[in-house]
Amino acid sequence: MKEKLQAIREEAIRKMEESDALDKLNDIRVAYLGKKGKLTEVMKGMKDVAAEERPKVGQLVNDTRKAIEEKLDEVKRELAEAAREAKMKEEVIDVTLPAKKNNVGHRHPNTIALEDVENIFVGMGYEVVEGPEIEYDYYNFEALNIPANHPAKDEQDTFYINDKIVLRTQTSPVQAREMEKGKLPIRMIAPGRVFRADEVDATHSPSFHQIEGLVVDKNITFADLKGTLAEFAKEMFGEDTKVKFRPHHFPFTEPSAEMDMTCFKCGGKGCRMCKGSGWIEILGCGMVHPKVLKMSGIDPEEYTGFAFGIGLERITLLKYEIDDMRLLYENDTRFLKQF
């Protein structure tokens, strides 16, 4: 029995020393110490050992088990250390290699242009106000002096949710909501997303952004409107920028006008950007229609006001000399990284 135990011990230790992987080491443990292992089989034969010899044999079995377990732990530590060393060699960092570039996000050109516009008007004492994108037909049309039979209410131009609710076609409804509050005077701009049933091309999209402006106070005149927008153009496009106003028609303003500014590219001399005219159309504006004031609960005999609407994408396209509006929405990082 002693020789048998010695042979089992030496065989197990030899196999462990030859082992080169943790899974093989586990197989050796099972083969010698498991329920059906060689040492377990020896212990099952203890019943055939004479009674006076059993303590000695039991001690030999325990010593053999202890020796095998200690060797298992030793080899396991050695294999784990070797595996760790190999992994560290594979993952070694060569400090002489170029570092990996940390890609940082970029502000969208629309966001940059909007912040510029907001900063200009906040500097003039205006408040930035927001309103719902899903709007009542009343605020989107009727409160702005656009009656039921007006062409702008045609379903080809407007996204209707039902006969009373639409996706707003402009941010002017925010003005109507603010005027209804009756807190005068009002100096506000209302930036936001708007929706129209337009075909997608270089200058149109079914979803785009507008910035509406409104001032309501006593003794407001068209001269105030002209001075405000002239100052905005200078701040946005350069101190030498000049503006001119052309008569136009909007249902919610009277009189109404469209404002042009001198081309910032050629300074008014004529170029590809302004199509040789020296002028670029920039926004629509006018004095708030007395009927609109009255529908919002403001006495047009006591108060007057002006309003204007700026297309944010138009400002962005002009500011960065982009010739296709679709580029703003394609999320092409090569394009966005330029801003």
What pairs with residue 244 in β-bridges? 260
Question: How long is the chain?
Answer: 339
95 sits in the region (left: phi over 0; alpha: psi -120 to 50; else beta) called alpha
What distances in angstroms separate CA 143 from CA 167, 246, 252, one per listed residue? 16, 25, 9
User: What's the longest Cα–Cα distance across the chain?
Assistant: 125
Locate 44 and state its tokens. 């099952």
Q: Quick one: pLDDT at residue 213?
A: 95
Q: Quick one: pLDDT at residue 155?
A: 58
Locate 243 and state its tokens. 């503006």
CA distance 288 to 303: 10
Average pLDDT (278-303) is 93
Q: Quick one: pLDDT at residue 298?
A: 94
Dihedral sign (CA 240, 245, 250, 255): positive
93 sits in the region (left: phi over 0; alpha: psi -120 to 50; else beta) called beta
Does the structure show a pLDDT above 80 at 173? yes
pLDDT single digits (tens) 175-211: 999 999 989 999 999 999 999 888 888 878 889 999 9
Average pLDDT (57-69) is 76
Locate 300 and state its tokens. 């047009």
Better-predicted residue by pLDDT, 337 or 16: 337
Q: Quick one: pLDDT at residue 286?
A: 96
What percent of the chain is modeled with pLDDT above 70?
94
Task: Name the band, by pLDDT with cuts 50, 70 and 90, for residue 51.
Answer: low
Helical segments of 37-53, H only: 38-44
Does the structure show a pLDDT above 70 at 44? no
Average pLDDT (11-31) is 76
Q: Quick one: pLDDT at residue 245?
A: 95
Task: Please provide the average confidence, as pLDDT, over all residues in the chain.
Answer: 85
Does the structure show a pLDDT above 80 at 274? no
Average pLDDT (228-256) is 92
Q: Quick one: pLDDT at residue 81?
A: 85
What pairs with residue 259 in β-bridges? 245, 283
Question: Strands (DSSP E) along the chain, which ranges?
Answer: 127-128, 134-136, 165-167, 186-195, 207-217, 243-250, 253-262, 279-288, 304-311
Better-predicted residue by pLDDT, 135 or 31: 135
Locate 82 and state its tokens. 């070797």
Does the structure show a pLDDT above 70 at 54? no
Average pLDDT (1-18) is 75
* CA triple 201-205-206, angle to 5 deg: 135
pLDDT single digits (tens) 73-123: 887 888 888 888 888 877 777 778 887 777 777 789 999 999 999 999 999
CA distance 324 to 171: 23
What percent of the chain is modeled with pLDDT above 90?
43
Q: Quick one: pLDDT at residue 50?
A: 65
Q: Quick one: pLDDT at residue 1?
A: 67
pLDDT single digits (tens) 297-339: 999 999 999 999 999 998 998 888 888 888 998 888 888 888 8
Q: Quick one: pLDDT at residue 211?
A: 95
